Structures are given as structure tokens and as C-alpha cells.
Chain A
Amino acid sequence: MPDPVIEVERLSKRFESVLAVDDVSFRVERGETVALLGGNGAGKTTTLAILLGLLLPTSGSVRVLGEDLLRHRYRVLGRMNFSSPYVDLPRRLTVAENLRVYAHLYGLDRVGERIARLMQALDIASFHDRPTGRLSAGQKTRVALAKALINEPELLLLDEPTVSLDPDTADRIRHYLEDYRNARGATILLASHNMTEVERMCDRVLMMRAGRIVDTGSPAELIRRHGRHTLEEVFLAIARERDDGGDEEAGRP
């Protein structure tokens, strides 16, 4: 059996008195699409930031694409990428300029051809010469996605990949990501609050609450196990366990 693309063991991250990620372990296999689901402050973004190498964990180990991320992250950064609506590209640079800069940062060849293909696929060609800061939220999301796909990554980490997109564009982006995954054998880990998106795209869901993974399974398994009709109902049930005196520890976000 090949190595998992992501292998996280006993991962914890503490910010002073706040335990943002608490003893989390999981694996993501090649070609899987996995969602991190949870309410605000559940630890999803912190987990993603650690997987990207932007944040050092307090304890635990992280292997990505067969490498120890904490020691050799530069061996894998060229093979992965990420997109987030909460991290900006330079606002004064045009869409095409931003993509060109990133193509060179990733050391890619056939830069023009690559960018043209992405622009067409993500329907951003019509505003390629507009400064990124002047785009609508939906256009920015698509440009961020184009940047995330520029190096044809084996591992794609996506934070809210279709936030701010209208239903039609969001649907087309999901199609594109599914086609990309199938064509490249790529692995996708995404954090999202869009349950429909997660049900449609993801093979597996890691449900997080207060820094812990509290349940995992395919969307169908989770719905069945919790006796609900939709993933959203499962999400609400898990999120509200804290209100019913669940196992929340004092002091957690």
C-alpha cells in the first residue's frame, strides 16, 4: 500500500492558554478528497496552517507526500499548493501578473500557455488585466484557485474553496476540481462550511470540535450513524453538544 499523502500523529498546537488543536491524528490517502468540518474555532484553519508549514505545532508529527514536514518542508512545497479567501494576492498587480509571479516562484515552464489554460478553465480570462484588488469576492476566489492550481499540485489544501461564488460558478468550480483530481490523481483536503459541497465532493469527513476530531467517516456514514437526514444536521448536532454539557474543556476557543 502506498504511503498516505498526509499522515498526522498526535498533533497539538497551543497558543498560550488556548489549545487550538488537541492531540489530532489522521491520514489522507492519495486521490482522496477529505473535508475538515467544524464550527468557528474548531481548529480547522490551524490544522491547515500546520499542514502548509506556516505554523509550527507544539507537539506531534506531520508527514506530507512522504516527507517530515517539520524538517523538510521545502522538499514538498513545490508539489502542493493552497487557496484561501482570507490570504490575499498583491492587490495592485493584475490577475495575469500575479499568476506569472507565482509561475516563476514554482519554477514552471511554458508559463504563458499554462496561465492561458487556467484562465479559460476558471473563466477568468475576461478580467486578466484588472488589478486583483478591484475584483469582486467571487472573482478573487477564482483567481486564488488559479494560483493554487498553477503548479498542478499533487496535494491541494483549500480553505472555503467556493465561498462568495454564485451557485452556477461554484458548481463549475467543483466540477473542475473533481476533474482535476481524477485526471491528476491529486489529493484534496478542504475546510468548508458548505455542507452540500462537502457531501458532493468528499470521500471522507473529519468532524472537528474544540481542537479535536470528534468523528470521521464518509458523509453517508456520518448521516446514518447520527440518525440524521443531511450532513448539516450532523454538523449542528455535533456543534451543539457543547451547549448540552458535552465534553468541552474549559478555556478552549
Chain B
Amino acid sequence: MSGPDRRPPLAAFSWRRVAAMVLRHVYLFRRSWPRLVELAYWPTVQMLTWGFINAFFRAHSSWVAQAAGVLLGAALLWDILFRSQISLALSFLEEMYARHLGHLFVSPLRVYELIVSLIAMSLIRTAIGMAPAIALAYVLYRYNLFELGLALIAFFASLFVTGWSIALFVCALVLRFGLGAESLAWAVMFAITPVTGVYYPIDSLPGWVQPISWSIPSSYVFEGMRAVMFEGVFRADLLAAATALNLVYLAVGAGVFLAAFHVARKKGLLLNVGE
């Protein structure tokens, strides 16, 4: 054939390109079983630790006994938040480790398609990581996370969005400053943990900390979880506040990532990613 090619224009968004990126990570998992083991390892260790603590408290505290499993539930939900964030960040870091961004962004893959594929991978990785922990919690402690009912879906969704938003922000920093900023991916959630009320109510925190807590969407989820477990009520107002904040977080996370991508194109970082 000779002369100009007349191919149809590529779609502005393609699920096939998103699926191609998911396939890339599925291939990676198939070829690296330690990655799979690690996904389930930490949530299971966390669940076991809090399971034993929970069992101890149930035997020695009438207050906690009113809501058996509150600590275990909090631990599992916190892990959902942490896993959703780290899973997205790790999928992006895999591209950095592989020095692969140069090829990816010469293909028709859009930045927002990459983000959607990272979100899909976060769902897959979190499901693989959390399923054994949730199952073991039931087997060992007769704690059924799904007893939270429909509220659980709302809690999960909210925590996932918070995790993704923070992960996009971290990915933006790694894209801008290189793999030297990689440790942020692991550390950022632990900075939030003390103030987001995972294991204790927000009003037990010092007054000056509480506004910070209420600016984090996950704080509303953990408060909501305690309302279900202690009072048996689903607080729609807390979920609405979390949703509103999540929309802001996600917009900021995605915006910062897109801005970092633009800066990377200005500075030539896509060809030279590394330390």
C-alpha cells in the first residue's frame, strides 16, 4: 500500500485501552506470585491483631461489649481505605519502575484512561487483598463485616474514592519528583490515621484537631460505622458529607495528577523517570 493512510479517528475514550492496561497488570501478577501473596498478607496480619485485641476487650469491657466487633470492623474498613490508596499508587509505580511511561504515552492511551485503569486495578488488588482477611475474620472470630448491611456498600464506596484521590495526589508527586518520593505512597495514610477517627470517636480528639478530622471524608465513614454498630442507625447525613468531600478530593487529586503530567511533558520527565 502507498499514499496517505485513511484510518478512522480513535475514540476519545476507549474501554479497550483501559482493559489493555488492566491486562498488563494481570500479566504481571501471573508472573509474580509474591505480589499476590503480599496483597493478602498485610490485611490478614492486621485483622488477626485487631481480632485478638477485640476478643480481649469483649471479655473485659462492658462498653465495647455493646458493639462486639467495632475494632475489627474499624480495622477492616481502615484497610479498605489503605489498600485502595496503595493499590492505585503501586500500579502507577510499576510503570515508573519499568521505565515504561515513554512507550505508554506515545500510544493512543489518554491520561484519563490511565487513571481509570489504575482505579480498576485498585479494585482488583483490594478485592484480592481483603477477601482472605474478611473471610478469616468470620472463621476465627465469627465477625461478619457484611452484617453492616447496605451501609457497608456506602462505606466501601466512600473509602475507595478517598483512597483513590489521595493516591492520585501521591502519584502526581512521584511523577514530578521521581521515585525518590515513592515512600510517600506508603506513608501518607499513616499520617491520616490518628486524626480520621478509625478506632475512636472524633469528639474524643483535642478540639484543635477536630476541624482537621472533619475535613477528611473517611472520618465521616468511621463515625457512620460506629453509629450503625452502637446505635443501630444509618446516618445519611454523615454519608452525604463524606460524598461531598470526596467529590472535592477526587477533583483535586485528578487535577493535580493532570497538572503533574503537563509539567512532566514540559520538563521531559516521561522519558527520564527514575530516582
Seen from chain A, the residues whose Cβ lies within 8 Å of a Cβ on chain B are 2, 15, 30-31, 45-46, 49, 52-56, 74-75, 77-82, 84, 86-94, 97, 100-102, 104-107, 131, 147, 154, 183-185
Contact = CB atoms under 8 A, between A and B. Distances in A.
A92 B1 contact: no
A101 B27 contact: yes
Max chain B Cβ within 10 angstroms of own Cβ: one of A31, A54, A79, A89: A54
A107 B14 contact: yes
Chain B interface mostly: loop
A81 B100 contact: no
B7 interface: yes
26 contacts: A49-B268, A53-B265, A54-B268, A55-B265, A55-B266, A56-B262, A74-B12, A75-B9, A77-B108, A87-B99, A88-B98, A88-B100, A89-B100, A90-B24, A90-B27, A93-B27, A93-B31, A101-B24, A102-B20, A105-B21, A107-B11, A107-B108, A131-B31, A154-B4, A183-B1, A184-B2
A104 B17 contact: yes
A75 B9 CA distance: 6
A92 B12 CA distance: 30
B266 A56 contact: yes
Interface of B: 1-5, 7, 9-12, 14, 16-17, 19-21, 23-24, 27-28, 31-32, 94, 98-100, 102-110, 262, 265-268, 270-271
A56 B265 contact: yes
B106 A81 contact: yes
A102 B5 CA distance: 20
Contact of A107 (B10, B99, B265, B266): B10
A54 B271 contact: yes
A92 B108 contact: no
Nearest to B32: A92
A94 B107 CA distance: 19
Contacts of A183: 1-2
B24 A31 contact: no
A74 B98 contact: no
Contacts of B11: 107
A49 B271 contact: yes
Contacts of A97: 24, 27
B178 to A, nearest CB: 16
Contact of A105 (B3, B17, B268): B17
Nearest to B268: A55
A183 B1 CA distance: 5
Contact of A2 (B4, B27, B267): B4
B266 to A, nearest CB: 5
Max chain B Cβ within 10 angstroms of own Cβ: one of A75, A78, A82: A78
Nearest to A132: B98
Closest 5 CB pairs of A and B: A185-B2, A104-B20, A87-B102, A105-B107, A90-B98
B175 to A, nearest CB: 13
Max chain B Cβ within 10 angstroms of own Cβ: one of A2, A45, A185: A185
Contact of B1 (A30, A104, A184): A184
Given A54-B268, A106-B108, A91 B24 contact: no
Contacts of B4: 2, 30, 154, 185
A77 B103 contact: no
B108 A105 contact: yes
Nearest to B105: A54
A31 to B, nearest CB: 7
Contacts of A46: 268
A91 B270 contact: no
A89 B183 CA distance: 24
Contacts of B100: 87-90
Contacts of A74: 10, 12, 108, 110
Given A53-B265, A92-B31, 10 more contacts: A55-B265, A77-B10, A90-B28, A90-B94, A104-B17, A105-B21, A106-B108, A154-B4, A183-B2, A184-B2
